[in-house]
Structure 1
Amino acid sequence: MRLMVYSHDTFGLGNIRRMLSICEYLLESIPDVSILLVSGSPMLHSFRIPAGLDYIKLPCINRGYSGNLSTKYLGTQVDETVKLRTDIILAATANFKPNLFLVDKKPYGLDRELKPTIDYIKRFLPHTKLVLLLRDILDCPEVTIEEWQKQEYYTAIQWFYDKVLVVGTPEVFDFCQEYKCPPTVASKIQQCGYIRKKFKENPNDILHKLALEPQEKLVLVTPGGGEDGYQLVNTYLSGLALLPATHHIKSVVIAGPEMPQFHKQALYQIAEQYSHVQICEFTEQLSVYMKRANVVICMGGYNTLCEVISLNKKAIVVPRIYPVAEQYIRAERMANLGLVKMIHPHSLTSENLMRSVFRELDNTQECQPPSIDLNALPRISQCIEMLLYNQVVDSKQYLTKETQWLTTTILKSVIY
């Protein structure tokens, strides 16, 4: 079975981390699957790639904090770079001939770069299944509805896609209702629950390096990819001056590989003043630190909050509010459900943040197990396996009919 995956990546690490988690689970749960991933993520090479998965790295397109697209590395215009990406994706599809194409986030891809590929699939690979994967929240409803109508995404789903899988639950955000999906679109949508984070790592080496004393508490600070995480990390490091001299707190800061270099240098200089602070740019072992942490300070990204909830951790969330409201909506809804604590970025000060940290550290009451659906991965796997099975059946029926037609044609030519 051949599965092709398109990961939409213009900002941070969220999309590629989520898609790699899904790919790994599919490889473990569906026999004889080969996966080809296409992505522009500049950090793709830094992740462990499981057996059965290979990837094609697309030229990077960046969506900065302003929301505008730009070419990240090449000295080419955006339209030239999108054209190059479009041609690469189409050529890969034509040669790989996937049984199923899993598309992340946008039905037509970034700047409609998937449109030629979708047209090719419908014309030359008619039995290939098309599946759209969406996170729980895209943006505030009014913005998303306007964009989806303008870009004809509802129509694309109606005509081209076999299934839409949403990794979220109606208890947090009812996708069909909030985004006013037409009945023809809503009938294809399945809200699968959130993605439960798997923890395979052996934490002994990392925890040994931390050298935590029995009485010490650990605070983990992670702004995700870090491109817009400077304010959060700087506010926390500045707040360390408020700690009493006899405190028993150690801090691990993961600044994020996408954080601008001058911001990282400034934070590293501040962190050097504190022997109880460890700071680094990136780690694949984030879950190890999170598992040991007494409090997590983070932004409101999908993957980070899934990890927090999976580990049942006390978390203080300072969500991004621009250029899209996705993180703010998610953090607010989850805070209302008692899953996390939230500080609005406009209210973020060192005093407010450290007050919340002290409150959470002093709270000895154990977190209640999360009352939220975390079974997205098995549901995604079940759906894709069924679609793959149906694709094989359809293909065999098609080939049988084609064979019968060829046999009849040959017999007629012999007879006459």
Structure 2
Amino acid sequence: MKRVLIYSHDTFGLGNVRRMLEVARHLVQTSPEVTVLLLTGSPMLHAFRIPPRIDYIKLPCLARDTTGHYSSRSLPLDLPDLVRLRANLIRSAIVDFAPDLVLVDKKPFGVQDELAGALESFSRMRRRPRLVLLLRDILDSAAATQGVWQKNGYYEAVATHYDQVLVVGSPEIFDLRREYAFPPFAAAKVRYCGYIAREAASRPRAHVRASLNVAPHEPLVLVTPGGGEDGYHLVATALEGLARTPAHRRPRTHIVCGPEMPEHQQAAVGSAAACLPEVSVQTFCDDMMSLIGSADVAVTMGGYNTVCELLTSGRRGVVVPRVKPGHEQLIRAERMARHGLLRMLPPEAASPAALMAEVQHQLDALARSEPLPRLTTMQGLEGVARSLRELIGLEDDAEASELEASMLVAPPARAASVSLAS
């Protein structure tokens, strides 16, 4: 068996660990000779289904606030002590698991440089694993990202330690080599894999709608802020907008708060929703694709996974991106909106009335059967898996070595591809 160790950067929300778990799941499903060990500090990993040949080591939790500062989430330890504990666990796992390949999420040296010692030790190992850095399509603004990468020596880390940099995105939307001024020695290692399509819904649209008591042709709006840690304002804005909407025009709405929304905020959402018979609420769903597939319009933040869920499902989206501590979501939403793939509402403009106006605009477009543009290439999971298999000697495919998936935005088909029916 080939052994792959995945390090998940996961101090805020669920996006990183969900993305890395999807990569692990696809890799073992398409490669019977691969087993995966996932290292993560996410407190929610146990809530997801873990397939055979994947296991995980739970690292002590770090927290990151909206200003970007880190701290211990649960243990009464100072940050340096907690990082040292995590770093020791990571080094022990690498030594004992002896991976053939290590896949690192986002930060070349890990959170708070906790991978630095392990990377240095690889040069002394008898059998050095292959090292791959996985980056999402957009990290932050150009100025912020270049400053961080220069200050922390990330460009040099790519040159010194990493065999390849895989990007789950497309240069047609955002070419990070150019936007972040990658030096030639780092840019040469970048390979684009395409955006990650989500798994198909596990439950039929009609069944999900029936479970929510939604009539077959009744428009359904889904509101979800992802993990929910900083999503209360979006949900509260939607609820206020719904409350101000006349009852006969108020759309049937289902809210998923997210498991990391604080309990007192979840309670406030429940209280507000109880006054609106058209609104239902749940805390967490491990099958978001079924819920999104059952909806007609989704109101979301602009995280990578959520946007990929929208693009995969073909549902209409109104995105209110996060702008703290970074501008990643804002940039992604702006670029996607520019191609007509979704509607973007800047946070400063997202009043209850403006949000409901955008939702109604999407419902009206749906009623007129206005088609949406679509992405023609979303094979990110297969692109990543093929690259990893190639690096550990499981695939000898000349085409794989040239893999740089180009995401082309196709014009909307004139056929009736958008409708209320599934």
What is the one-letter code of the residue matched to 2:336? Answer: M
Query: Which structure's CA Rg is the greater one?
Result: 1
Task: Quote the offset at 1:200 in angstroms.
Answer: 4.6
Is the Cα–Cα contact under 8 Å of residues 217 and 248 in structure 1 kept in the other structure? no
**Aligned-partner Cα distance in 2 for 1:149–1:345:** 30
Q: Within the alignment, does 1:89 sit opposite 2:90 as a pair? A: yes
Q: Runs of 4 or more off by more than 4 Å in structure 1?
A: none
Match for residue 219 of structure 2? 217
The 5-angstrom pairing of residues 394-413 of structure 1 reads none
**Aligned-partner Cα distance in 2 for 1:25–1:389:** 18
Match for residue 269 of structure 2? 267
**Aligned-partner Cα distance in 2 for 1:367–1:111:** 45
SS of match in other structure, 2:81? helix
**Aligned-partner Cα distance in 2 for 1:109–1:325:** 20
**Aligned-partner Cα distance in 1 for 2:128–2:71:** 36
Match for residue 407 of structure 2? none
Is the Cα–Cα contact under 8 Å of residues 216 and 250 in structure 1 kept in the other structure? yes
Is the Cα–Cα contact under 8 Å of residues 300 and 320 in structure 1 kept in the other structure? yes
Task: Quote the offset at 1:206 in angstroms.
Answer: 3.4
Match for residue 388 of structure 1? 392
- The CA RMSD over aligned residues, in Å, is 1.5
Q: Call closer, same or farther: CA 1:99–1:170 in 2, change over 3 Å.
A: same
Is the Cα–Cα contact under 8 Å of residues 221 and 298 in structure 1 kept in the other structure? yes
Consecutive unaligned residues of structure 2, counting only runs of 5 or more, are 397-422
Task: Quote the offset at 1:241 in angstroms.
Answer: 2.0
The 5-angstrom pairing of residues 17-416 of structure 1 reads 17-203=18-204, 205-247=207-249, 249-363=251-365, 364-389=368-393
**Aligned-partner Cα distance in 1 for 2:18–2:139:** 17
What is the one-letter code of the residue matched to 1:353? Answer: L
SS of match in other structure, 1:35? strand
What is the one-letter code of the residue matched to 2:42? Answer: S
**Aligned-partner Cα distance in 2 for 1:227–1:19:** 19
Match for residue 404 of structure 1? none
Q: Call closer, same or farther: CA 1:215–1:75 in 2, change over 3 Å.
A: same
Match for residue 398 of structure 1? none
CA deviation map 1:291-333 (0-9, x unaligned): 0111000000000000101111110000001110000000001
**Aligned-partner Cα distance in 2 for 1:258–1:171:** 33
Task: Tell me which moved more, 210-219 or 229-238.
Answer: 210-219
Match for residue 397 of structure 1? none
Match for residue 408 of structure 2? none
CA deviation map 1:213-234 (0-9, x unaligned): 1341110001111111111100
SS of match in other structure, 2:124? helix
Consecutive unaligned residues of structure 1, counting only runs of 5 or more, are 393-416
SS of match in other structure, 1:288? helix
Task: Quote the offset at 1:366 in angstroms.
Answer: 3.9
**Aligned-partner Cα distance in 1 for 2:211–2:183:** 54
Is the Cα–Cα contact under 8 Å of residues 7 and 15 in structure 1 kept in the other structure? yes
What is the one-letter code of the residue matched to 1:362? Answer: D
Is the Cα–Cα contact under 8 Å of residues 251 and 277 in structure 1 kept in the other structure? yes
What is the one-letter code of the residue matched to 2:325? Answer: P
Match for residue 400 of structure 1? none
CA deviation map 1:181-235 (0-9, x unaligned): 0111011001111001111512465333212113411100011111111111001
Is the Cα–Cα contact under 8 Å of residues 216 and 248 in structure 1 kept in the other structure? no
What is the one-letter code of the residue matched to 1:21? Answer: E
**Aligned-partner Cα distance in 1 for 2:58–2:262:** 22
Task: Quote the offset at 1:135 in angstroms.
Answer: 0.5
**Aligned-partner Cα distance in 1 for 2:375–2:278:** 35
For these two proteins, the number of residue pairs brought into alignment is 392
Task: Quote the offset at 1:369 in angstroms.
Answer: 4.5
**Aligned-partner Cα distance in 1 for 2:282–2:165:** 37
SS of match in other structure, 1:37? strand
CA deviation map 1:125-163 (0-9, x unaligned): 543100000011111011111110110000000011000
**Aligned-partner Cα distance in 2 for 1:120–1:275:** 60
**Aligned-partner Cα distance in 2 for 1:200–1:341:** 23
Is the Cα–Cα contact under 8 Å of residues 215 and 248 in structure 1 kept in the other structure? no
CA deviation map 1:27-57 (0-9, x unaligned): 1112211100000001011100011100000
SS of match in other structure, 1:155? helix
**Aligned-partner Cα distance in 1 for 2:92–2:199:** 34
**Aligned-partner Cα distance in 1 for 2:75–2:21:** 25
Provide the TM-score with structure 1 as the length reference.
0.91
Is the Cα–Cα contact under 8 Å of residues 192 and 376 in structure 1 kept in the other structure? yes
Is the Cα–Cα contact under 8 Å of residues 128 and 391 in structure 1 kept in the other structure? no
Is the Cα–Cα contact under 8 Å of residues 314 and 367 in structure 1 kept in the other structure? no
Q: Call closer, same or farther: CA 1:280–1:330 in 2, change over 3 Å.
A: same
SS of match in other structure, 1:124? coil
Task: Quote the offset at 1:289 in angstroms.
Answer: 1.0
**Aligned-partner Cα distance in 2 for 1:125–1:100:** 14
SS of match in other structure, 2:52? coil
SS of match in other structure, 2:12? coil
Overall identity of the aligned pairs, in %:
43
